[in-house]
Amino acid sequence: MDEKDEVVRALAQQGRVALIDPSREPRDVIADITECEFIFSTSLHGLIVADSFGIPNAWIALSGRIGGGRYKFEDYYSAFGGTATQYDADLVWDPEAVEDLKRGYCAVPNLKEIQSRLIRAIPYL
């Protein structure tokens, strides 16, 4: 998370917005994500965690610096027949657009089945 980014600084001033620092303990980050009704994330990990809990989410651009580029996002969404769409940071200031994203959110198809297969494949987790 880039605390110097003007959008991040402005969001930090909002009462209804939680900025989640992904460098903390994973359990704490996940707990914070599960408390949210919608997730904007620059990180693929944030989107995957949100999807795994059925929390509507959107990939947002705060800067041109994406570790690993677009490929990882495109690969992730293609696994479920989706398309990787990166939204501009200005979207966070448009309540109607955010509501449209919430309503239009499509949960990962067969999520429970996928989760069960992963747990069976890696039983020591």
- Of 95, 115, 118, which is closest to residue 107 (Cα–Cα)? 115
pLDDT single digits (tens) 20-78: 888 999 999 999 999 999 999 988 999 999 999 999 999 998 766 666 678 999 999 99
> Is the CB of residue 3 less than 8 Å from the CB of residue 9?
yes
> Is the CB of residue 56 less than 8 Å from the CB of residue 105?
yes
Residues in the chain: 125
Q: Could you give the CA distance from residue 84 to residue 7 in angstroms, rounded to a whole number? A: 22
Domain positions in the chain are 6-121
Q: What is the per-residue pLDDT for 47?
A: 96
Q: Is the pLDDT of residue 1 over 70?
A: no
Q: What are phi and psi of 40, to 5 degrees?
A: -105, 130
CA 105 to chain centre: 12
